[in-house]
Structure 1
Amino acid sequence: MRLRGGLMLGGVFVVGLAAGSLTQPLSRAFGDNAPSDSTYQQLSLFGDILSQIKQNYVIDPPTDKLIYNAANGMLSGLDPHSSYMNAQQYSDMQVQTSGQFGGLGLEVTEASGLLKVITPIDGTPGQKAGIKPGDIIVEIDGHATEGLSLDDAVSKMRGAPGTQITLTLKRNGVNTPVHVTLTREIIKIDDVKSKLLTSTAGPVGYIRLDSFDENADAHIRAAVKSLNKQAHGPIHGYILDLRDNPGGLLDQAVAVSDDFVTSGEIVSTHGRHSEDDQAWYAQGNDITNGAPIVVLTNSGTASAAEIVTAALQQNRRALVLGTKTFGKGSVQTIIPIDNEGALRLTTALYFTPSGKSIQDYGVTPNVTVADSATPEDSFAQLRETDLLHAFTNPTQQKAASLPPPLPLPPVAASIPSKPPANWPKFDPTKPATDFQLQMALKLIADMKPASTTTAAN
């Protein structure tokens, strides 16, 4: 079966009361394998339930709503990332991956029935209002979010630019509800931000990538070109900041990895049908000319961002500094349904150059550095393995030992695992307050240009 649709890194069957109306959809679904009597029996059960709801529920619910809820229940019961999008939601997703959409600028996920903020996008109403990663959205305009599907919650938060919305938040360490009123804006995702920093070894190019939309690769290349112009001379190294990057398009993850890796495997995908398995390899073009690279990660580094992190780390192209990543190792295919929206269906798992899946486990940094001097809140550090119906790692064990990583420079031994108690409060406008970034500058200053040795496939 060759799947055709967009690969992401996040028709509904026709129900009739007579079994005969199901014959065509079932034959398409099962192909050469005829559905068993138990399958027809279960579908008959579904039809009976639908009939009872339509006849006896306290109000007459719209049939399209019942089918939508049933489809999403069927998909969400498989894994946290599969879902059905109606036509409007599919359109919204297409707009979002284009890099511009209307709303608040919040990346959110559903965890145990709760709506959790992964990260606010820089420069958006959510970020300006002080919404933080880990915040739980408990109400939207006074209506509880408990039990609300992720797609429905996102739809409620989107709206016409200039209109207001009030969110009620549960925040770690705050005992009272936090009420935030925001004004919706057209969200233009400035997915790449860059600046030239200084280190004891010379200029360092800092590049922050917020998400993997369809412009990620082009914007990374433009950032490197701009930084080189600003430096008016050699740049010692680059820091690629993937903290709180929730992922996005697989092809962009491959392209961004290829910007830095000269040879070796970047990623492979393996699914139910072997003919759909694929592997991607570097094409020999390093836009930084072998300059040292440090990748910054945390628990919000997910999916496509983990592909890039693992590709650079395992191909001995970069050292990773920060905390363990999210651990999302599944690939979603967008399958349009004629005039009825689309499925977001998990169709494969991705595997890193080591040949192992990082599903559930994530990428472990070469140098572990927390961003806080206080113990991290366990709920705020939610990872893939904590999500309902998450896949277990297909190997049932942690990945085997990889080829030797890049050797750590001597300065790594002096880098503490967390900031001292007197470290200043983090201010995103002041790089000097970002402890992980400052430790990355310290590490990269002691690193040498990359060798051409790559990890074994």
Structure 2
Amino acid sequence: MRLRGGLLLSGVFLGGLALGTVAQPLTRAMGQNAPSDSTYQQLSLFGDVLTQVKQNYVMDPPSDKLIYNAINGMLSGLDPHSSYMNAKQYADMQVQTSGQFGGLGLEVTEKDGLIEVIAPIDGTPGARAGIKHNDIILEINGHSTDGLALDDAVAKMRGTPGTQITLTIKRNGVNTPIHVTLTREVVKIEDVKSKLFNTPDGPVGYIRLSSFDENADPHIRNAVNSLRQQAHGSIHGYILDLRDNPGGLLDQAVAVSDDFLNSGEIVSTHGRHSQDDQVWYAQNGDVTNGAPIVILTDAGTASAAEIVTAALQQNRRALVLGTKTFGKGSVQTIMPIDNEGALRLTTALYFTPSGKSIQGYGVTPDVKVSDTNLPDDAFFAQLRETDLLNSFANPTGQAVAPLPAAPPLPAVASQIQAKPPQNWPAFDPTKPDTDFQLQMGIKLLDGMTRAQ
């Protein structure tokens, strides 16, 4: 998939500011659907305000900055994911979806005037420093982020590779601020990692997918082949880890879902114009040959990752273990504008095979398991789509044929604890035995195999 007219499903991580004029491009772009007289009256109002600001503001603000902020305000007032990207931001986004960019490797958003982490990207300075989903960035190099625009915060965290930056973080369950010093680097996204675990019931293939860039599908297929070779034959089952996966490209979400299915609907999109509605179906060719699958999720599992989770869960191909997902059910189209960057506009909502939208709701796991035994903090509760300013209300579901009846959970599911015990070791990403959700996923997978 390419970006002109392409569909993008990553969450709220690229802010948008704009440069350009207003009325002339508007008429050119809309053609026969040009604005009514009332629209031009409102544009006249905008011109009057712009004139007053230019003539009377305490300092003379650059005109390009005023237009830049005005267009950004128009789009951000629609929903959290529509934005304008100037030429540099557009170039950065193209690099990001190709799998390599500069910075700390943190996906961030703005909530109640605070900069909040959606997810650290695997293998990046942010991930290695232990920064977590829902961490609040209070300061950047000693300067408060209170009221700081998202774009400005992102710009401050980016910089020349090799330079250092210090973040001050507030974390749920920790009473004192955490100071973290990181070294910026060129971030190369290793979107897929795999590992073979040997269990008493047989080898388990673990696949970690951290984002849906343009190589997600072939890398998933390569991982399955590699695991099969390591196991010298059949695999007992697979763990598909989509925790802290913020999403990405729609075509890759469809392709990855299809990798594990032989038939059934994957996802549909419905927009303002019915002729643009689309439905994607799986084709025969499950790369795992029907082996049991457990998907790991958390509140950082968003957008494209939610499409895969819902498709496999609702087609009765996998069980989901973890916590409820983020709940982003909208699709953005990237519309390049000549020499001026690109418009990122929400053009459709997507619907799961059940005919329902996950917008605002997310995907509910079959087996609820938290990664921590800390009590919930009301203020620093898990950030989800509904917490974002101007997020969409969940639309009415589409009428569809009923799904196959859900099979009963394996007996072992009733023995899985919802939270790790008090004596569970602190999580260490280099030690899988400390990952409570992963260990419970393997336990569930063993029970699924015995139930077959």
Q: TM-score, normalised by structure 2?
A: 0.92
Cα separation, 2, equivalents of 1:34 and 1:229: 60
Structure 1 stretch displaced more, 368-377 or 87-96: 368-377
Structure 1 stretch displaced more, 315-324 or 4-13: 4-13
> For residue 61 of structure 1, what is the amino acid of its counterpart?
P
Cα separation, 1, equivalents of 2:408 and 2:234: 23
3-state secondary structure, aligned to 1:257: helix
Matches within 5 A, 1:218-367: 218-367=218-367
Whether the 8 Å contact between 1:318 and 1:406 is mirrored in structure 2 is: no
Cα separation, 2, equivalents of 1:394 and 1:171: 33
Residue 155 in 1 paired to residue 162 in 2?
A: no
Cα separation, 2, equivalents of 1:180 and 1:248: 28
3-state secondary structure, aligned to 1:206: strand
Shift of 1:306: 0.2
Whether the 8 Å contact between 1:100 and 1:186 is mirrored in structure 2 is: yes
> For residue 299 of structure 2, what is the amino acid of its counterpart?
S
Residue 405 in 1 paired to residue 406 in 2?
A: yes
Aligned to 1:455: none
3-state secondary structure, aligned to 2:413: helix
Shift of 1:192: 0.8
> For residue 292 of structure 1, what is the amino acid of its counterpart?
P
3-state secondary structure, aligned to 1:446: helix
Cα separation, 1, equivalents of 2:148 and 2:274: 36
Aligned to 2:372: 372
Deviations, residues 226-248 of structure 1 (Å, cap 9, x unaligned): 11111112211000000111111
Shift of 1:344: 1.2
Shift of 1:78: 0.7
Whether the 8 Å contact between 1:319 and 1:406 is mirrored in structure 2 is: no
Aligned to 1:384: 385
Cα separation, 2, equivalents of 1:279 and 1:328: 18
Aligned to 1:443: 444
The number of residue pairs the alignment matches comes to 441
Aligned to 1:118: 118
Cα separation, 2, equivalents of 1:412 and 1:167: 40
> For residue 21 of structure 2, what is the amino acid of its counterpart?
V
3-state secondary structure, aligned to 1:309: helix
2:21 corresponds to which of 11, 14, 19: 14
Cα separation, 2, equivalents of 1:281 and 1:188: 32
Residue 177 in 1 paired to residue 184 in 2?
A: no
Whether the 8 Å contact between 1:290 and 1:449 is mirrored in structure 2 is: no
Cα separation, 1, equivalents of 2:129 and 2:82: 31
Deviations, residues 77-126 of structure 1 (Å, cap 9, x unaligned): 11111111110011111111111111111111121221111122222111
Cα separation, 2, equivalents of 1:446 and 1:394: 37
Q: TM-score, normalised by structure 1?
A: 0.91
> For residue 321 of structure 1, what is the amino acid of its counterpart?
L
Deviations, residues 309-337 of structure 1 (Å, cap 9, x unaligned): 00000111101111111100001111111
Aligned to 2:165: 165
Residue 187 in 1 paired to residue 187 in 2?
A: yes
Cα separation, 2, equivalents of 1:394 and 1:297: 24
Whether the 8 Å contact between 2:20 and 2:340 is mirrored in structure 1 is: no
Aligned to 1:430: 431
Whether the 8 Å contact between 1:291 and 1:449 is mirrored in structure 2 is: no
> For residue 445 of structure 2, what is the amino acid of its counterpart?
I
Shift of 1:26: 4.1
Query: Would the alpha carbon gap of residues 401 and 176 (structure 1) be closer, same or farther in structure 2, given more than 3 Å must change?
Result: farther
Residue 414 in 1 paired to residue 395 in 2?
A: no
Aligned to 2:14: none
Shift of 1:360: 0.6
CA-based RMSD: 2.2
For structure 2, the 5+ residue unaligned runs are: 12-17
3-state secondary structure, aligned to 1:139: strand
Whether the 8 Å contact between 2:87 and 2:339 is mirrored in structure 1 is: yes
> For residue 70 of structure 1, what is the amino acid of its counterpart?
A
Shift of 1:5: 2.3
Shift of 1:29: 5.2
3-state secondary structure, aligned to 2:407: coil
